[in-house]
Each structure stands twice: as structure tokens, then as C-alpha cells.
Amino acid sequence: RPSGPIRTCVVCRERVDPDDLVRLALSPEGHAVVDFRGKLPGRGAWSHPGCLAELEQKPGMLKRSLKIVPPAGPWVADYRAAVERALLDGISQAAAAGALVGGHERLKLAMVDDEVTWVLLASDIAEGTEKKLRAAALERVRFQRVPIASADLGDRVGKGPRAAVGVRPSRATAHLVRQLRRLASLG
């Protein structure tokens, strides 16, 4: 039996932990809005991030949870924007804590030594660089393209341009890893 709360996706009806779902809350105007932190007051409906696109096409699925059928909203875009903002904050927090590994050779060595669990790929990473990093990685290392260019990624971590950055497992990277999982769930 699960120890915490369980929520049901309004689209696929799967019962899961709320951390794996997106909450949509009803605004005073009668529109369903993405409740990224899950703290807005009132009735809410829960959906897997991957089910949001179907929900945009069929907002009637919200009637059971919200008691009305709100107009369809840009929920996928709103959720992606919220995740990307939180991801950028997470990168800065992890960098400040010294929990990121930058530099091509240092990153390859850290992957071989099993020191990183995720590798963030800048949006403009060269195809050859990405292939070399993937070839050097252990099987359990996950790769995720992030929505910023290498110069901006470097600025965010307090260094020069970085095409890729490794994420060490630690308490300091918990927020970042959660956002990476959310971003990955959007495809």
C-alpha cells in the first residue's frame, strides 16, 4: 500500500504519485490553468505531462474533476515554460553547490567513474561532441537536451561556454533532477 497520496490521471486513469502528474486548477474566470507547484486553491484535475496534448483536444475529460468543462488551454506550452524556468533555476542552484561537472574531458572522466547521473546538452551542441559523450557514458547516465545555448549554459554555471554539463547525484541537485524528469516526460 502506498504511503503518500495517490492521484488519478484524468486522461489515462492511471493512479500514481502526484509528483508524476501535472495539476490543472480552475481559475476564477472558469479557465483551467497549469498549477505547477500544486498549491492553487480550489478544485484540481491531474494529468500525466504526456497526456496533456490529448487533454487539450478533449477538455471534456476535466468535467468529472472540475465540475465544469473549461475551454481548452495551451496547457502543454504553459507546462513546458514552467518546467524550463524551474530547470534554469535548478542549474544555477546545482552550480552554486558545486554539483555540476563541466569541460569535455572532465565530464567524460566523471561519466566513466560513475560520478554523474545526468548530462545536460546545450541546444547548440555539435553532433560529433554529443556522439562522443554518449559513447563514453555508462548505460545508466541519462542525457537531456536543455533549452539554452552553450554560451548561456556556461554563464549559468559560472564558466565559459559549455556544450554539456554533468549532474552529480546529491541533495543539491534534487530540484534539477526533478525538472529534468519533467522535461523528459514531455518528449
State pLDDT tens for residues 92-123: 999 999 999 999 999 999 999 999 999 999 99
Q: pTM to 2 decimals?
A: 0.87
Task: Give the pLDDT score at 93.
Answer: 96
Structural domains in the chain? 7-73 (3.30.1230.10), 79-185 (3.30.1330.30)
Task: Give the pLDDT score at 186.
Answer: 86
CA distance linking residue 104 with residue 107, whole number of Å: 5
DSSP for 107-170, written as a single string: HHHHHHTT--SEEEE-TT--HHHHHHHHHHS-TT-EEEE-SS-HHHHHHHHTSS--SEEEE--S
Q: Which residue ranges in the chain fall short of pLDDT 70?
A: 1-2
The share of the chain scoring above pLDDT 70, in percent, equals 99
Q: With contact defined as beta carbons under 8 Å apart, do 163 and 124 qualify?
A: yes
Task: Give the pLDDT score at 1.
Answer: 54
